[in-house]
DNA sequence: CCTACCGATCGGTAGG
DNA sequence: CCTACCGATCGGTAGG
C-alpha cells in the first residue's frame, strides 16, 4: 500500500494546532482515510485504534448490544462521552471494526496468494488459505474478524452491504483452488457448497480453540486439510 | 422416557381451580416438570410455549440483549409485565429455550440412532446424525438450537454448565461413528478434532442456508458426507 | 395476566 | 477529550 498523496493545501509548513484549536476545529468532518496526525495530549490515531481494539474485545466477550459505550470508554481510560469524538455512533464503531478488519484480512490474504504464485498446486494454495484464515481468526493479532462473524446482525442493512462487498472478495479468492481440487478429484463435494462448509468449520474454531490445548495453528490446518481433501 | 410418578397428595379428584384461585395461588412456586393444566382464560402450557417460540425467533433475529421483554410480550399479545408470570427473569426464558431445545434434540437424536440399530455401518450412522442435525437446525420446527449456538455467552456461568451437560451428551453420541470411520480409513483427521470441525461446518449453515435456494436437507447432508468421508 | 410504576442504565449531545 | 445532562428504554415488581 502506498502512503496517500497530500493535497496541495495541506502541505509542509502547516502549524500544529494546539489543544484548544483542535477542540474548536470542526472535528466531525475529517478528510477521508487515516486521520492526519494532530498532536493533542495523546496521539489521535492511536486513540482511535485503541478504542477499536478494546471495543472488539468487549463485543466478542459480551456481545455488541450488551456492551455500553461507557464500558468501552472506561476500558481505554476515557470518560463516557469521549468515544463520540472519534466515532459518530456506537454503530459506526462496530462498522469500523468489521470494515477495517476485513480490509486488512483481504490484503494479507492476497499477499499470501501472491507469494505462492499462480502455478502453485491447488493443494498448497488451499493449505495456505486455511493457515492464513486461522491466523486471522485465532492468531495474536486476531479479534476484528471474529466480531464480524458474531455481530453481523447488529449492523444496519447499509453497513451490511458495505462489509459484504469485502467479505465476498475474501471468500471468492478461495474458489480457484477449490475448483481445481474438485477437477482433480481431491474434493468430492460441489465447490460452492464445500466453500460454505469449510468456512463454517474453520470459523467455528473461534468458539473452541485454545492455544494452550496443545494444538498449533499449523497442526490445526493440517487436520482441516486431512478432513476435506481426499488423496488417492 | 417415563411419565413421572404422581405423588400421593396430588392424586385423582383434585378440583380445577378457577381463575381467581389461580391468580391468588402462589404462582411462582410450581412443582418441577411441566406446569399442571390449570384452566385460566388461555391454556397455561400453551402460553408458556408460545412465549418460548416467539422469544427464540426474536433472539435469533435481533440477539438476546437487543430483544426487550416488551418485544416478546407484544409478539404473543401480552402486556409488558406478563411474561414474568411465566418466567422469573428474561435470563430464565433464554435458559428455558436452550435447555428444553437441547433436551428435545438429544431425545430425537437417540431415537434416530435406536431406529438404526447398533450394527448399522458407521457411514450410515454418520449420515443419519448429519441429517437429523440439519433437521434440528434448519427444519420446520427449528429455532431453539440456533439460539443456543449464537447466545451461549448470554447465559450465566451456572446456566452454561447446565446446558453444557446436555450438549456434551448430544455431541458425544457422534464419537463411536467417527471412531469407526477413522479406523476404517474413511476419516483421515483425528476423530475428536474432526467432530469439532464437522459441527462447525453444519452449524454454520444456519447463517446461509435457505430452503428456497434449491438445496434440500437430504442433498445438503449428501454434500457434507462427500466432503468429510473418503471412499476408497 | 394487567396496571402502574420504579430505579438504573443507555446512546447521544451541547458547550467548552 | 471532559462535564453535565437529557429523553428513552429497560428489567423487574407490587398489588390486584
- For A21, half-sphere exposure in the C-beta direction (CA atoms, 13 angstrom radius) is 7
Please check whether residues B132 and B187 belong to one and the same domain. yes
Residue B9 scores a pLDDT above 70: no
Query: In the prediction, which pLDDT does A155 show?
Result: 97
- In whole angstroms, what separates CA B65 from the centre of its chain? 20
Both A172 and A58 in one domain: the answer is: no
A203, closest residue in chain B (CA to CA): B200
Calculate the alpha carbon distances from B50 to B23, B43, B159, B185 in Å.
20, 11, 22, 47
- Give how many domains chain B has, as a whole number: 2
CB contact under 8 Å between B204 and A199, yes or no, is yes
CA A217/CA B42 separation, integer angstroms: 56
Across A43-47, A215-219, B107-111, least confident range: A43-47
Residue of B97, B105, B137 whose CA lies nearest to B221: B137
| Nearest by CB: A227 against B154, B197, B223 | B197
Largest CA distance in chain B: 70
> Which is nearest to B171 in space by CA: B140, B207, B195?
B195
Position A111 in a domain: yes
CA atoms within 13 A on the CB side of A195: 18
Query: What is d(CA A16, CA A19) in angstroms, rounded to the nearest whole number?
Result: 9
Print the domain residue range for B176: 90-228
- Does residue A219 lie in a domain region? yes
Residue B4 has pLDDT above 50, yes or no: no
Phi, psi of A39 (to 5 degrees): -80, 100
> Could you tell me if A107 and A166 lie in one domain?
yes
pLDDT at position A35, please? 39
Residues B154 and B169 in one domain: yes
How large is the average pLDDT for residues A26-34?
Answer: 36
Beta bridge mates, A43: A39
The reported pLDDT for the residue numbered B147 is 98
Q: Name the pLDDT band for B111 (thresholds 50, 70, 90).
A: very high
State whether A95 and A81 are in the same domain.
no
pLDDT 10s digits, A32-56 = 333 333 444 446 678 999 999 999 9
Q: How far, in Å, is the CA of A49 from the C1' of nucleotide C15?
A: 26
Which of A9-18, A197-206, B156-165, B196-205 is predicted least confidently? A9-18
Domain co-membership, B95 together with B69: no
pLDDT computed for residue B43 by the predictor? 62
A136 and A81 fall within a common domain: no
d(CA B24, CA A147): 47
Give the CATH number of the domain where residue A159 resides. 1.10.357.10
Tell me, yes or no, whether A111 and A217 share the same domain: yes
Footprint of strand C on the protein (CB under 7 A): A 23-24, 67-71, 80-81, 84, 88-91; B 23, 27, 40-42, 44, 47, 73, 77-82, 85-86
Does the pLDDT at position B11 exceed 70?
no
> Any chain B CB within 8 A of the CB of A85?
no
pLDDT tens by residue, A67-85: 999 999 999 999 999 999 9
What sign does the CA torsion over A74, A76, A79, A80 have? negative
Indicate which CATH number applies to the domain containing A55.
1.10.10.60
Residue B59 lies in a domain: yes
> What are the tens digits of pLDDT across the range B35-90?
333 444 446 678 999 999 999 999 999 999 999 999 999 999 999 999 999 999 99
Q: Is residue B178 part of a domain?
A: yes
Question: Per the domain annotation, does B17 fall within a domain?
Answer: no
Q: Convert the pLDDT of each residue in B190-226 to its tens digit.
A: 999 999 999 999 999 999 999 877 899 999 999 999 9
Q: Is A189 helix (H, G, I), strand (E, B) or coil?
A: coil
pLDDT per residue as tens digits for the range A128-147: 999 999 999 999 989 999 99
Of the three residues B53, B87, B121, the one that is the final residue of a domain is B87
Q: Establish if A199 touches chain B: CB-CB under 8 angstroms.
A: yes
Residue A13 within a domain: no
CA atoms within 13 A on the CB side of B29: 3
Q: Is pLDDT above 80 for A14?
A: no
Domain boundary residue, one of B29, B58, B87: B87
pLDDT of the residue at B130:
98
Percent of chain A residues topping a pLDDT of 90: 77
- Provide the shortest C-alpha distance from residue B67 to chain A (in Å): 9
User: Which residues in A lie closer than 8 A to residue B201 (C-beta atoms)?
Assistant: 197-198, 200-201, 204
Q: Is residue A10 part of a domain?
A: no
Q: With an 8 Å Cβ cutoff, are B63 and A62 in contact?
A: no
Which residues on chain A are in Cβ contact (under 8 Å) with B224?
A: 189, 197
When comparing pLDDT for B30 and B108, which is higher? B108
Q: Are A110 and A175 found together in one domain?
A: yes
Q: Do A62 and A139 fall within a single domain?
A: no
Is B20 domain-assigned?
no
Whether residue A112 sits in one domain with residue A212: yes
For an interface test with A, give the residue of B164, B200, B208, B222 to mutate (most A CBs within 10 A).
B200
Domain edge (last residue) among B71, B87, B103? B87
Kindly give, in sequence order, each residue whose CB lies less than 8 Å from that of residue B112, ignoring residues fewer than 6 positions away: B128, B129, B132
- Please report residues of A whose CB lies closer than 8 A to that of B207: 152, 200
Greatest distance between any 2 Cα atoms in chain A: 70
Judgement on whether residues B95 and B133 belong to the same structural domain of the protein: yes
Separation of CA B231 and C1' C1 in angstroms?
60
User: Among candidates B54, B134, B125, which has minimal Cα distance to B94?
Assistant: B54
Round and report the angstrom distance from CA (B69) to C1' (D9): 11
Amino acid at each position: 500500500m502506498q502512503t496517500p498523496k497530500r493535497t496541495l493545501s495541506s502541505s509542509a509548513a502547516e502549524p500544529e494546532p494546539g489543544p484548544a484549536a483542535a477542540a474548536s476545529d470542526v472535528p466531525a468532518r475529517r478528510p477521508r482515510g487515516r486521520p492526519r496526525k494532530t498532536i493533542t495530549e495523546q496521539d489521535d490515531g492511536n486513540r482511535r485504534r485503541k478504542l477499536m481494539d478494546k471495543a472488539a474485545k468487549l463485543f466478542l466477550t459480551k456481545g455488541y448490544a450488551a456492551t455500553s459505550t461507557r464500558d468501552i470508554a472506561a476500558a481505554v481510560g476515557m470518560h463516557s462521552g469521549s468515544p463520540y469524538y472519534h466515532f459518530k455512533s456506537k454503530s459506526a464503531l462496530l462498522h469500523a471494526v468489521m470494515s477495517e478488519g476485513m480490509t486488512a484480512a483481504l490484503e494479507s490474504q492476497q499477499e499470501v496468494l501472491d507469494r505462492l504464485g499462480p502455478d502453485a498446486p491447488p493443494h498448497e494454495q488451499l493449505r495456505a488459505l486455511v493457515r492464513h484464515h486461522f491466523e486471522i481468526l485465532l492468531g495474536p493479532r486476531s479479534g476484528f474478524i471474529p466480531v464480524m462473524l458474531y455481530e453481523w446482525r447488529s449492523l444496519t442493512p447499509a453497513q451490511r452491504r458495505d462489509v459484504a462487498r469485502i467479505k465476498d472478495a475474501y471468500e471468492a479468492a478461495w474458489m480457484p483452488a477449490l475448483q481445481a481440487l474438485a477437477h482433480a478429484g481431491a474434493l468430492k463435494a460441489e465447490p460452492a457448497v464445500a466453500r460454505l462448509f469449510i468456512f463454517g468449520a474453520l470459523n467455528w474454531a473461534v468458539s473452541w480453540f485454545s492455544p494452550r490445548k496443545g494444538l498449533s495453528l499449523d497442526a490445526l490446518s493440517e487436520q482441516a486439510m486431512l478432513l476435506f481433501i481426499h488423496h488417492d
